[in-house]
Amino acid sequence: MDDPSFTIFPIGYIKRINNEVYIEILEKFIPALKQLEHFSHVQVLWWADKVDNEKSRERLDCIPPYGENPPNTGVFATRAEYRPNPIALTTVKILEIHHKDGRVRIQNIDALDETPVIDLKAYFPVCDRVKEPHIPEWIVGWPEWLPEEGLGL
């Protein structure tokens, strides 16, 4: 099988301004925000561009920086930003949407300022939540939910 290539381009960027976090949508994609204000949360797919290099893309395992004595783990079993394609996914709370300038104010995200956003998908509980998830024992000590005050980035 031939190795297909894909074209991915940003639809916007993460902006951190005065302790507030925004997704700034590029002008040509602003119409795609229509009706998003009716959702409480959105899934943000973003490109971990700060670690997008050959070494990071070749890394296939790591010791996760979370849990209690985590084992060496394949990157597909982690949320590590270094992976064959540095695509990250975070579900965020929508605080406000400014349709005119394409600015979506969100509670927080584990992405740095100026990180490229490659897609947004409205959060649908029927599709996106899991009733009884199973996680490894070494992660059991983690809280059930992220804190409301954000991630401290």
| CA 130 to each of CA 69, 123, 124, 133: distance values in angstroms, whole numbers, following the listed order | 26, 13, 11, 6
Q: Is the CB of residue 140 less than 8 Å from the CB of residue 65?
A: no
Residue 150 binned pLDDT confidence (cut-offs 50, 70, 90): low
Contacts of residue 32, defined as CB under 8 A and 6 or more positions apart, other chains included, come to 11, 25, 120
How do the domains of the chain map onto residue ranges? Answer: 12-128
Residue 142 in this model has a pLDDT that exceeds 90:
no
Residue 153 in this model has a pLDDT that exceeds 50:
no
Q: Dihedral through CA 139, CA 113, CA 23, CA 89, nearest 10?
A: -30
d(CA 15, CA 20) in angstroms, rounded, equals 8
Q: How many residues does the chain have?
A: 153
Residue 152 in this model has a pLDDT that exceeds 50:
no
d(CA 108, CA 90) in angstroms, rounded, equals 10
Identify the weakest region by mean pLDDT among 19-28, 32-41, 122-131.
122-131
Architecture of the domain made up of 12-128:
Beta Barrel (2.40)
Instruction: Please give the mean pLDDT across all residues of the chain.
Output: 90
pLDDT 10s digits, 90-116: 999 999 999 999 999 999 899 999 999
Q: pTM, whole model, 2 decimals?
A: 0.88
Q: Which residues are 91's β-sheet partners?
A: 43
What pLDDT does residue 79 have? Answer: 86
